[in-house]
């Protein structure tokens, strides 16, 4: 199948393109890097010619509230319009477990808007909601830092390796559209503060991680199960410790 990976140069996109090619698919990495821009429409009609599936694993260059909303709504509208014209039969998008519970966050309001546009479009679709990537745990510390302290809510947390995210999205992309949501997550549960502390220790980062039940996540209040997937989620294989020991320090 010809499968277009929008955001194919990114963390998940580059892994996904490789996995699909290994399975014999014609996977095309599409992003501004390769002359395809979902905001301006540049290169979209050309790249979508003959495509069966479009997988959107792009992300907004800015996470500022207005910019991120503008990115996901404009990009998704353009994609769906060009896909309809090209006769694409399956739109797959990567979203985040708990998106609907995080509407206090500007970033997640944009993901909610992205999901809504997809659900309301005429293109058969699958939305894959993943938990946080192991690769993003340091990013969580960075967005939660105040001086030398990192305030993180001690809530349940079930992150996964980017490699497993790409495998999970790849399986959905080559299957029939589910016209709904598939959740994927990591094989283990932790407390978020514990995992951020372990990641920073491995990086020899001296910031102190403080468990703070009132700490916000991306601007939203969270509680015990906000970030964990439902019991029927498909789980990745990679454990955090194995991922950590394979990481260059």
Ligand X SMILES: NC(=O)c1ccc[n+]([C@@H]2O[C@H](COP(=O)([O-])OP(=O)(O)OC[C@H]3O[C@@H](n4cnc5c(N)ncnc54)[C@H](OP(=O)(O)O)[C@@H]3O)[C@@H](O)[C@H]2O)c1
| Residue 9 dihedral angles phi and psi, to the nearest 5° | -95, -5
Shortest CB 131 distance to ligand X, Å: 7
Question: Which of 107, 206 has the CB closer to ligand X?
Answer: 107
Shortest CB 199 distance to ligand X, Å: 13
Site residues (CB under 6 A) for ligand X, limited to 5-34:
6-7, 9-13, 31-33
The neighbouring-strand residues paired with 94 are 128
Question: Which of 148, 238 has the CB closer to ligand X?
Answer: 238
Write out the E strands in the chain. Answer: 2-6, 26-30, 53-56, 90-96, 125-130, 145-146, 149-152, 156-157, 181-185, 190-191, 208-211, 234-235
Binding mask 198-227 for ligand X (x = CB under 6 A): ------------------------------
Binding mask 57-86 for ligand X (x = CB under 6 A): xxx-x-------------------------
Under the binding rule (CB under 6 A), the answer on residue 181 touching ligand X is no
CA dist., res. 144 & res. 202, Å (int):
18
Under the binding rule (CB under 6 A), the answer on residue 116 touching ligand X is no
Under the binding rule (CB under 6 A), the answer on residue 187 touching ligand X is no
3-state secondary structure of 83: helix
Alpha helices (runs of H) in 121-239, residue ranges in sequence order:
137-143, 162-174, 192-202
**31, 80 Cβ separation under 8 angstroms:** no
Question: Which of 148, 192 has the CB closer to ligand X?
Answer: 192
CA dist., res. 41 & res. 30, Å (int):
12
Under the binding rule (CB under 6 A), the answer on residue 176 touching ligand X is no
Binding mask 142-171 for ligand X (x = CB under 6 A): ------------------------------
CA dist., res. 212 & res. 59, Å (int):
29
Binding interface with ligand X (CB under 6 A): 6-7, 9-13, 31-33, 36-39, 57-59, 61, 94, 96, 111, 130, 132-133, 136
């Amino acid at each position: 199948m010809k499968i277009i990976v929008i955001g194919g140069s990114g963390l998940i996109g580059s892994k996904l393109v490789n996995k699909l090619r290994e399975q014999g698919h014609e996977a095309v990495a599409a992003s501004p890097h390769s002359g395809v821009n979902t905001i301006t429409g540049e290169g979209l009609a050309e790249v979508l010619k003959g495509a069966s599936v479009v997988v959107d694993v792009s992300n907004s260059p800015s996470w500022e509230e207005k910019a991120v909303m503008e990115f996901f709504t404009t990009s998704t509208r353009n994609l769906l319009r060009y896909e309809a014209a090209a006769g694409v039969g399956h739109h797959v998008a990567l979203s985040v477990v708990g998106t609907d519970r995080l509407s206090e966050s500007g970033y997640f309001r944009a993901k909610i808007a992205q999901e809504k546009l997809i659900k309301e479009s005429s293109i058969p679709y699958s939305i894959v909601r993943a938990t946080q990537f192991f690769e993003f745990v340091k990013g969580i510390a960075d967005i939660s830092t105040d001086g030398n302290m990192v305030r993180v809510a001690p809530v349940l947390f079930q992150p996964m390796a980017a490699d497993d995210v790409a495998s999970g999205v790849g399986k959905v992309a080559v299957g029939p559209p589910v016209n709904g949501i598939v959740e994927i997550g990591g094989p283990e549960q932790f407390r978020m503060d514990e995992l951020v502390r372990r990641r920073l220790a491995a990086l020899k980062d001296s910031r102190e991680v403080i468990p703070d039940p009132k700490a916000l996540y991306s601007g939203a209040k969270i509680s015990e199960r906000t970030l964990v997937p439902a019991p029927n989620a498909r789980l990745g294989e990679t454990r955090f410790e194995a991922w950590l020991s394979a990481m260059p320090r």
